[in-house]
Amino acid sequence: MTEISPREFDGKMVHDVRSFAAGHWIRTDDAARAIHSAVTGQIIARAGNSALDVAAMLDHARDVGGPNLRAMTFHQRAKLLKALASHLGEHKQPLYDASFATGATQKDHLIDIDGGIGTMFVFASKGRREMPDGHVYLDGEVEQLSRNGTFLGQHICTPRQGVAVHINAFNFPVWGMLEKLAPTLLAGVPAIVKPATSSCYVTELAVDIMLSSGLLPEGTLQLVSGGLGDMLDRLGTQDVVSFTGSADTAFKLRSNPNILRNSVSFIAEQDSLNASILGPDAAPGTPEFDLFVKEVMREMTTKAGQKCTAIRRIFAPQVHVDAVIEALRVSLSKTTIGDPKDPATRMGALVSHSQRADVLEKAAQIGQEAERVIGDPENFDLNGAGPDGAFLPPMLFHCANPDAAHTVHEVEAFGPVATIMPYSDLDHAIALTNRGQGSLVASVITNDGDVARRVALGAGAFHGRLYFNNATSMAESTGHGSPLPHMVHGGPGRAGGGEEMGGVRGVLHYMQRTAIQGSPDILTAIGDKWVPGAQEITHTDHPFTRSFHDLHIGETFHTPSRVITSDDVAHFAEFTGDKFYAHMDDAAAARNPFFPGRVAHGYLLLSFAAGLFVQPDEGPVLANTGLDNLRFMKPVVPGDALKVRLTVKHKTSRNADYGEVRWHVTLTNQDDDRVAEYELLTMNAYATA
């Protein structure tokens, strides 16, 4: 990491939060804004620079960072993510130490810092497993656009040739950056990261750790600590804005005339009134009831309720509302509030006094329609913490008439605040849940599959994620408020309409989907994946004797024929025990509309095909790992002659020693009619043994 010296502001030596622009660290100037500790209220840092050259930053990303990333394959970029995640993992402690000043506890750090690092690892793995070791991502199957297959179509995705501007929220200064950065870099697009000022000193440290690793190609990552200036006014058609924060701020940014004029891609993950439903079957005394209380308590107190996925609205059957309130009263009473560095503390401070004031203002609005039944912001124990921190207790409100209420379905207090409401039946619960007009997540605690299905059908359109949990899954479930990199994180309507993460789906946000049309040879050349009908390459040596690197896309081996006899079919039936009537009884098979009479087993054909194309000697083929897309196309009867065409369709590196070869296998009869087709997967050594 680079050496950072403090600077004097208002007679105090505080941390100088820098920006990283066009390859250089830029210190603050007189326009810098003070940052206060959430725990003590003291000024601990300053951030901002009014003279930041945003035009130079954009040019540096587009002209240097973009070409550097696009020169790499998806697998090379995935390996880069893995190396970055490992490097961050080796330097977690400084990030932990810095994050305490945001009001976060050590458990909160595990979500933000370890969670962010884990997210990078997942994208690295998915990049290696689900994306090609090339530069073009194939989206979907080939479409036949002509009768004879000489004119085809395919959707491809290639990296946008601009820059991704990431505008992040204050609550997760590390995870919030990494969950956007990982898919962006994997796509091949450089990023400019703009964290929220109140916690940007943690993000700056994480960026410094990554840059100091020497792993990132030049121009791929830049940092703005403070304001963006006129950067949004300078974005073009190839750029992307990814935003996390309030709906009001998202609306302001979306409405930028330049963004509208150039149709700049805008991904938003906004605040939302996430809900949790106690299923009708989850009565007091059941594991599901206890789980429900635990989930609500955790979501109210983790990160002091400052989570975009936290539970804001709680719905319970009318008959169980009092029991839920009492159970939460007992559970929340055990929440020790205080200095987040103290291991005994279960909930720290809000990120700032301004955020505390905003939560109190929103809680007062909710209080006009609901009664506060737990938590008094004027009277709670700080357990030795100083009085100048941005602390609040968990506050639970009870709205007895949710149908007549409006504020509880419209106003989010972004802190340790939630409102419990009764429902009369499941349809009523679904209707109330949907009144939030779009959320990131809604959860249902139930052991009734019919309840889950009805909620999925009735509420799915209003929520980005539906989380179901019960006694079966609770030991391994990750929790209502835990977005996972494998799954979509976003939601419709009020939640912003965007989608982050979601595995490869998240990567495609930073790529352009293009329809290509042409001959099989053209599609093969573009996608680096053999398309049936494309030119075949022949070689004098059997392909199973050739190493991974020696094989070429389109290399094809044609086998001699083998006649299928009645004895073959009978022996296969006896040997395997598969005596399905179509293989044993000629008259019964003839009555079947699919068969002309007694036919060979499909798996007999696969076995005989392997016997025709396998080269038995020890060589570079290490293992057969499976087959995909098997189709039986025409029955084979005794007397038919079977032959095989084996073609190298695609190659994917796996590790330093071997890679996966995907073979296109076509079985034909004596009339050259296709009888079966599939894709064979083998692991092949890089060097011939």
pLDDT tens, residue by residue, 326-381: 999 999 999 999 999 999 999 999 999 999 999 999 999 999 999 999 999 999 98
Question: What is the model's pLDDT at position 2?
Answer: 57
- State pLDDT tens for residues 196-206: 999 999 999 99
Known catalytic membership, residue 399: no
Tell me which residue has tokens 């502001």: 9
Over residues 28-48, mean pLDDT: 89
**Active-site annotation holder among 179, 269, 299, 500:** 269
Residue 513 CB partners (closer than 8 Å, separation 6+): 139, 155, 156, 157
Q: Which residues have a Cβ under 8 Å from the Cβ of 306 and sit 6 or more positions away?
A: 170, 171, 350, 351, 355, 414, 415
pLDDT at 117: 96
Average pLDDT, the chain: 92
Which H or E run includes 572? helix 566-576
- Annotated catalytic residue 200: no
| pLDDT beyond 90 at 51 | no
Q: By the 8 A CB rule, do 681 and 662 touch?
A: yes
Which tokens in the block code for residue 126?
């998915």
Q: How many residues are there in the chain?
A: 689
- Can you give the pLDDT at residue 29? 86
> For the ranges 29-38, 67-76, 293-302, 408-417, which has the lowest average pLDDT?
29-38
pLDDT at 689 over 70: no
pLDDT of residue 9: 42
Residue 170: pLDDT over 70: yes
Q: What are the tens digits of pLDDT across the range 77-90?
A: 999 999 999 999 99
Q: Which residue has the tokens 């992040």?
A: 168
Q: Is residue 95 over pLDDT 60?
A: yes
Task: Check if the beta carbon of residue 634 is closer than 8 Å to that of residue 564.
Answer: no
3-state DSSP call for residue 137?
Answer: strand
pLDDT band at 3 (very low <50, low <70, confident <90, very high): low
How high is the pLDDT of residue 645? 95
Does residue 688 carry a pLDDT above 90? Answer: no
Checking if the pLDDT of 664 tops 50, the result is: yes
Binned at pLDDT 50, 70 and 90, residue 11 comes out as very low
What is the reported pLDDT for 687? 76
- Please pick, among 157, 200, 308, 399, the residue that the annotation labels catalytic: 308
The band of 519, judged by pLDDT with boundaries at 50, 70 and 90, is: very high
Helical residues (DSSP H) of 531-580, grouped into ranges = 566-576
Task: Categorize the per-residue pLDDT at 428 as very low, low, confident or very high, splitting at 50, 70 and 90.
Answer: very high
283 pLDDT more than 60: yes
The helix (H) or strand (E) run that includes residue 499 is strand 499-501
In this prediction the pTM is 0.91
Report how far residue 514's alpha carbon sits from residue 654's, in angstroms, rounded to the nearest whole number. Answer: 28
**pLDDT band of 539, cuts 50, 70, 90:** confident
pLDDT above 90: percentage of residues in the chain: 83
Inter-residue contact 551 to 557 (CB < 8 Å): no
Asked whether residue 459 carries a pLDDT value surpassing 80, the answer given is yes
CA distance 418 to 395: 7
DSSP helix/strand/coil, 531: coil
